[in-house]
Structure 1
Amino acid sequence: MTDDKLVRMANQIATFFATQPDADKAAKVAAHLTDFWDPAMRAQLSAYAAQGGTGLDPLALDAAKLL
């Protein structure tokens, strides 16, 4: 999967969870990624975040660091 598509998908998930009342939104995003993304996608997102995460929503970036 391209990084652009991965970023877009992670940002969409972060946008949804940003509207939820939960306190630890990054943990909720990370849990969603763990539940619904395959391990290769999570690994790619983690690696992308470790390289700076250009274009990732701050919430998605925080979640990626929790994976």
Structure 2
Amino acid sequence: MTKESTTHLVKMINQIAANCPFQGDPAAVTEATTNHIHKFWAHSMKEDIVAYLESGGEGLSPAAVEAIRALDADLRPTR
């Protein structure tokens, strides 16, 4: 994973979480963001963002962190 691709993934997931229509309901933001990632991101992108969080996750918003944790829990059985 290159620094550029990581920066792009961080920017995208932060934007997805920030633009979620369920602001004010953290659980709904997590669910909507996670669902969006499941639908529209390639498996390799999902694995990369999970690995990035595991390595510290600098620059990720709190909502993005929660969505990645939920994503990771969903991905674990297939890892």
* Both proteins in one fold, TM over 0.5: yes
Correspondence for 2:12: 9
**Aligned residue for 1:20?**
22
Q: Count matched residues.
A: 66
**TM-score, normalisation: structure 2:** 0.74
Greater RCO, CA 8 A, separation 6+: 1
* Identity %, equivalent residues: 32
> Structure 1 residue runs of 4+, over 2 Å off?
none
Cα displacement (A) at 1:22: 7.6
Letter of the 1:10 counterpart? I
Structure 1 match to 2:60: 56
- Is the alpha carbon distance of 1:21 and 1:12 closer, same or farther for their aligned partners in structure 2, counting shifts above 3 Å? closer
Normalised by the length of structure 1, the TM-score is: 0.86
Structure 2 Cα separation of the partners of residues 48 and 21 of structure 1: 25
Letter in 1 for 2:48: Q
Q: What is the distance in 2 between the residues matched to 1:5 and 1:53?
A: 13
Structure 2 unaligned blocks of 5 or more: 72-79
Unaligned regions of 5+ residues in structure 1, if any? none
Q: What is the root-mean-square deviation in Å for CA atoms of aligned residues?
A: 1.7
